[in-house]
Each structure stands twice: as C-alpha cells, then as structure tokens.
C-alpha cells in the first residue's frame, strides 16, 4: 500500500472521528454552553488527554515504534512478542501507579492546572470530582497507543485510526440522553459527562484489541520488570515526553492562565476543536504513517526512498493544510456561529471563540509540519534534539502567554501557542536540513509556492462569498445556515483545487488515482 493510501486510511478515519466530534461538541455547547460545567469538563477531560499525548502518543510511540520495528527485523516474531510483553507489563504497571497517585492528589493537580477555579468552590469541587472519574481514560488510551504501535508496524492502520470514532459515538449518545432527559443540575451533568469519557475509553481499546487478535499477534503476559528493553525505551522516551507533546504542554500552560478569566477555558476548547479537525486529519495521519515508513527505509539503507517519503509527506501535508488555515482565518465567525450558536452558546461566546480560532489558524501549518519533521529524528532514535527544541518553544510560549494575557485575554494565549509552534517547527526543519537528513527537491519548492498562491486566492474569494451569503449564514433557519456554510466550503475547495491542478502546484488527480489504485 502506498504512502498516500496509508495517509488516506488514517486521515479518513480521523476525519470521520472529527466530524462526529463536531456532533459531540455541538451537543456539548447546547448542554453546558460556556459556563462553569463547561470549564470543569474541559479541565477534567484534558487532564488524562494531556498525560496520554505526552506519555502515550508522544513519548511512547516516538520511542516504541523504532525499537519494536528493530525487534521485528532482528529478532523475528518470537523476539517481537517478548519485547511487546516486557514493555506492555511495564507500561500497565506505570499507568496503574500514576492513576492511583492522581486519585489521591487530584485536588492539588486541579489547583495546579486551573488555579483560577479555587475562588469558585463549587466549580473547583466539581472539577476535582469529574477529573477523578475521567482519569482512568488515560489507562485505556495509553494501552490503545501501545497496541496501535504494534499494528502500525505491521502496516495495519485502520483499527487504531477508527478507534477514536467510538469515543465520539459514546459521548454523543450520552449528551443526547442528557438533552432528552432534561438534566440541568451541574453536579449530575458533570458526573454523567465524566463517566461517558471513561466508557468511551474502554470501547476504543476494545476495537484495537480485536484487530490485534485478527493479526494473530499474541502479547505474552509478564510481571513488570526493569529489563534492558524497558531501560532503552525509558532512555528514548523521556526526551519524547517533551518533544512529542510540546503542543499539549503549551495548551496546559494556556489552561492554567486562562482559568483566571471566566469562561476562557471553554472558549479556547471550542476553538481548539475546530482547528484540530485539519490538524488531526492531516498532521496526525502523516505522523502515524511516516514514522514506521521512515524507520523501515533507514534500517534497509534506502536513503533515496527516505528523502522521497519526507518530501512527498511535506508536499501532501501543505496541499491540505494551507487552504484550511486560510479558510479558518478568513471566516472564523461564520464557522463558529453556524456550528455552535444555539441554546446556551450565545453571540458573546461566538465572538470569543472566533477570535481564538483566528490566532490558532496562523499556527496550523506549524503544528502539521511538526508531525512531518519529528519522525525524521525519531526514526533515527534521536529524541533528545526535538526535546531541546521543545523546551525552547515552551519558554517562548509561557513568556508570551504571560505577556499577552493582560492585553488580549484568551486570544493572547492562542497567539502565544501559535508563535511557539512556529519556533519549534522552524528549529526542527533547520537542523534536519543542516544534518543532511532533509534535502528539499526543486519540485517541492516550486509546488509549495504555487500552493500558497492558490490558498491566498481561495481565501480572497471565500471572503467575498461570505459577505454575499451573510444573511443566509446568520439570520436564516439552521438548515439554511448549514447549507450556506457547506456551499462556502465547497466553493473554496473548488477554487483551490482548480488553480492548484492547472498551475501544477500539485497533482491532485494523481493523488486520487493513487488512492483508488488496487495493490498489486
């Protein structure tokens, strides 16, 4: 299966998950708006997600996949199973210990992550309770990352990519039940939402375990031990805690500062969900597929194939990312209004979310490029260099967040995250290029310039189209507003695709053929 088809498999699954995530967030906005329960849910849900993306998806995958790939190549199936069993036992032990500590010290954890909640004792207590209920989600998601890493090494991407769909299905059912049941008490709402998160984690893990069973890969059960394999994973994984999760660390810093502004965490959450759609579909898909591909090519000494994969991944990512970033920056109010403005989500919430979305939009290409270039280091088992760059970016993010928050409020936090993202990605690109590990070809540079011009042209046309459709986007029935937004999006896509194909900015027809071509 080609690299493009693997991107499409993971990206398509992520797109479905994010679309269902919009359904979930539309229901969430209707149920809790941007009030205290929304603020509490954002912190409670983000806490296990922060640890998951730092330790599981970030540090763990960046270290585990190259080491597991080496075990498969050098030790065969038996050695790979033994390696997986040792790592799995150590991972589960650490997760259970971390969860136990979190349950005990959760009041202090919430105080550290959302100090502004302390002044509102009801919201603080609700956040602590919801966080305790939702935290076991970390266990299931970390084990999903572990099993998914095994499946990805064997070129099985679908199950791990489709698993997040189940969380959104479960949460949408829970929120729909809350609306139908007319639940209004803050405490009851909070408990129901937190329980739904944990159940969603169990369902997701079940999906990948079923696919692992179909693969025929049985993970032996060992008692936790500090083996040579675990020690090597720890050495590689510790820098990856920072390198792979820099965006999450930046978001956590923003969350702490945002807790000082009423409703700010909720506004940043909704904006984050919108720009996470293209980031998830493009960036995460490329990161998941590219790391095992680059690892195999380097192990086999296929330098030319490695360079080709990195160049094409960069091209493919920006062909999809640049127009998305421009669109989010040009029509944020229209997008937020149509998707979220109803029941408890009022015009002030729309304005605040749209402003944050604009700031995030300028950083979208940087966040995606981070997913493209990080595997260039991880495939060589180098997690230290990205860690150093991530530390620099975090310092920039914290400094700018503190400096901009008094002036721009929550928008300053989003802007600081964007600037830090570009700092981190710029360092990744420059040092990979200086080491000779990334050599951009002329075709890539020419195409990226044309793609940028096509994106700007699309943004100009979408801006005027939005003005023409303004009455249908703001004052009409919901179905008319949704249809108008869809028409706006389709117009932008058509303009971009036409200009890009005709100018040679990218061979979109060739990509479509690559997706539909059968394996030989």
The SS3 assignment for 379 reads coil
The two tokens of residue 284 are: 């995460």
DSSP 8-state secondary structure symbol assigned to residue 280: I
DSSP string of 177-244, one letter each residue = HHHHHT---HHHHHHHHHHHHHHHHHHHHHHHHHHHHHHT-PPPP------HHHHHHHHHHHHHHHHT
Among 126-140, 180-194, 253-267, 348-362, the minimum mean pLDDT is found in: 253-267
Q: CB–CB of 66/245 below 8 Å?
A: no
Read off the pLDDT band of 167 (50, 70, 90).
confident
Q: What is the CA 381 to chain-centroid distance, rounded?
A: 22
pLDDT at 321: 86
Give the mean pLDDT of the chain: 82
Q: How far apart are CA 401 and CA 398, in angstroms?
A: 5
- pLDDT at residue 504 above 90? no
Count other Cβ atoms within 10 Å, centred on residue 231. 11
Cα–Cα distance for residue pair 24/339, rounded to 1 Å: 11
Q: Kindly state the tokens that stand for 187.
A: 């405490």
pLDDT average, residue stretch 375-388: 81
Residues 6+ apart with CB under 8 A from 194: 41, 44, 129, 130, 131, 133, 134
Q: How far apart are CA 313 and CA 299, in angstroms?
A: 19
Q: Give CA–CA dist 149/160, Å, rounded.
A: 9
Is residue 365 within 8 Å of 452, Cβ to Cβ? no
Q: What are phi and psi of 305, to 5 degrees?
A: -65, -35
Tell whether the model's pLDDT for residue 151 goes beyond 80.
Answer: yes
CA distances from 196 to 22, 257, 444 (A): 16, 27, 45
**What are the tens digits of pLDDT across the range 175-189?**
888 888 877 767 888
**Per the structure block, which two tokens stand in for 332?**
């944020």
| pLDDT > 90? residue 199 | yes
- State mean pLDDT over 339-350: 75
Distance CA 237, CA 271 (A): 30
Q: DSSP of 291-329, one letter per residue? A: HHHHHHHHHTT-HHHHHHHHHHHHHHHHHHHHHHHHHHH
Q: How far apart are CA 80 and CA 410, in angstroms?
A: 47
Distance CA 68, CA 346 (A): 50
CB 423 within 8 A of CB 396: yes
For the segment 384-397, the average pLDDT, to the nearest whole number, is 86
Question: Which of the four pLDDT bands, split at 50, 70 and 90, describes residue 518?
Answer: very low
Q: Are 256 and 417 in contact (CB under 8 A)?
A: no
CB neighbours of residue 78 within 10 Å: 10
Highest mean pLDDT among 261-275, 443-457, 494-508: 443-457
User: Which phi and psi angles does 96 have, rounded to 5°?
Assistant: -65, -40
Lowest mean pLDDT among 163-167, 422-426, 452-456, 487-491: 163-167
Q: For residues 90 and 98, what is the distance between their CA atoms, to the nearest angstrom?
A: 12
CA angle 280, 43, 254 (to 5 degrees): 70
pLDDT at position 355, please? Answer: 92
Q: Is the dihedral of CA 420, 426, 428, 430 positive or negative?
A: negative
Q: How far is CA 493 from CA 90, 377, 482, in A?
A: 47, 33, 16
Instruction: Quickly list DSSP for 445-497.
Output: HHHHHHHHHHHHHHHHHHHHHHHHTHHHHHTS-HHHHHHHHHHHHHHHHHHHH
SS3 call for 126: helix
State the Cα–Cα distance between residues 198 and 176, nearest whole angstrom: 17
Q: Over 50: is that where the pLDDT of 157 sits?
A: yes
At 520 the pLDDT is 39
Q: What would the mean pLDDT of 414-424 be, rounded to a whole number?
A: 91
Contacts of 231 (CB under 8 A, 6+ apart): none
Residue whose C-alpha is closest to residue 117's, from 270, 264, 267:
264
199 vs 13, higher pLDDT: 199
pLDDT at 213: 92
Query: CB neighbours (10 Å) of residue 418?
Result: 23
The helix or strand, by DSSP H or E, that contains position 371, with its residue range, turns out to be helix 364-378
Indicate whether 104 pLDDT > 90. Answer: yes
Q: What is the pLDDT of residue 1?
A: 43
**The predicted structure's pLDDT at residue 515:** 47
pLDDT of 249 over the 70 cut: no
What pTM value is reported for the model? Answer: 0.68
**Higher confidence at residue 223 or residue 47?**
223
């Amino acid at each position: 299966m080609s690299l493009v088809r693997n991107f499409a498999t993971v990206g398509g699954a992520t797109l479905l998950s994010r679309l269902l995530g919009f359904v979930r967030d539309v229901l969430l906005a209707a149920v809790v708006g941007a009030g205290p329960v929304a603020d509490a849910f954002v912190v409670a849900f983000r806490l296990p997600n922060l640890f998951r993306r730092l330790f599981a998806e970030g540090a763990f995958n960046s270290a585990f996949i190259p080491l597991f790939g080496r075990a498969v190549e050098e030790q065969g199936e038996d050695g790979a199973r033994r390696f997986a069993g040792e790592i799995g036992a150590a991972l589960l032990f650490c997760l259970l210990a971390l969860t136990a500590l979190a349950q005990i010290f959760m009041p202090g954890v919430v105080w550290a992550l959302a100090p502004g909640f302390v002044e509102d004792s009801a919201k603080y207590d609700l956040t602590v309770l919801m966080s305790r209920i939702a935290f076991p989600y970390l266990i299931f998601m970390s084990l999903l990352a572990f099993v998914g890493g095994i499946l990805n090494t064997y070129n099985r991407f679908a199950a791990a990519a489709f698993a997040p769909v189940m969380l959104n299905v479960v949460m949408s059912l829970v929120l729909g039940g809350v609306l139908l049941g007319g639940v209004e008490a803050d405490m009851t709402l909070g408990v129901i939402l937190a329980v739904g998160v944990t159940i969603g984690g169990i369902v997701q893990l079940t999906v990948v375990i079923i696919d692992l069973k179909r693969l025929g890969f049985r993970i032996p059960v060992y008692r936790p031990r500090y083996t040579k394999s675990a020690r090597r994973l720890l050495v590689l994984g510790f820098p990856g805690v920072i390198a792979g999760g820099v965006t999450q660390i930046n978001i956590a810093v923003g969350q702490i500062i945002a807790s000082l502004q009423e409703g700010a965490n909720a506004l940043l959450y909704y904006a984050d969900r919108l720009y996470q759609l293209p980031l998830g579909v493009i960036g995460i898909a490329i990161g998941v597929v590219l790391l095992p591909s680059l690892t195999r090519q380097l192990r086999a000494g296929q330098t030319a194939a490695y360079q080709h994969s990195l160049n094409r991944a960069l091209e493919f990512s920006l062909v999809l990312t640049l127009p998305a970033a421009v669109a989010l920056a040009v029509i944020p109010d229209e997008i937020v209004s149509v998707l979220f403005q109803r029941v408890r989500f009022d015009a002030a919430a729309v304005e605040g979310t749209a402003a944050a979305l604009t700031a995030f939009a300028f950083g979208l290409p940087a966040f995606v490029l981070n997913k493209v270039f990080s595997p260039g280091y991880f495939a060589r088992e180098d997690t230290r260099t990205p860690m150093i760059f991530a530390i620099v970016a975090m310092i920039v993010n914290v400094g700018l967040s503190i400096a901009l928050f008094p002036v721009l409020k929550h928008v300053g936090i989003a802007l600081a995250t964007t600037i830090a993202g570009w700092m981190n990605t710029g360092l990744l690109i420059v040092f990979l290029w200086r080491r000779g590990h990334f050599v951009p070809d002329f075709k890539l540079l020419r195409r990226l310039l044309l793609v940028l011009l096509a994106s700007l042209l699309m943004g100009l046309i979408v801006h005027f189209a939005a003005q023409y459709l303004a009455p249908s986007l703001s004052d009409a029935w919901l179905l008319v507003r949704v249809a108008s937004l869809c028409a706006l999006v389709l117009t932008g896509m058509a303009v971009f695709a036409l200009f890009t194909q005709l100018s040679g900015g990218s061979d979109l027809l060739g990509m479509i053929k690559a997706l539909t071509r059968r394996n030989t």
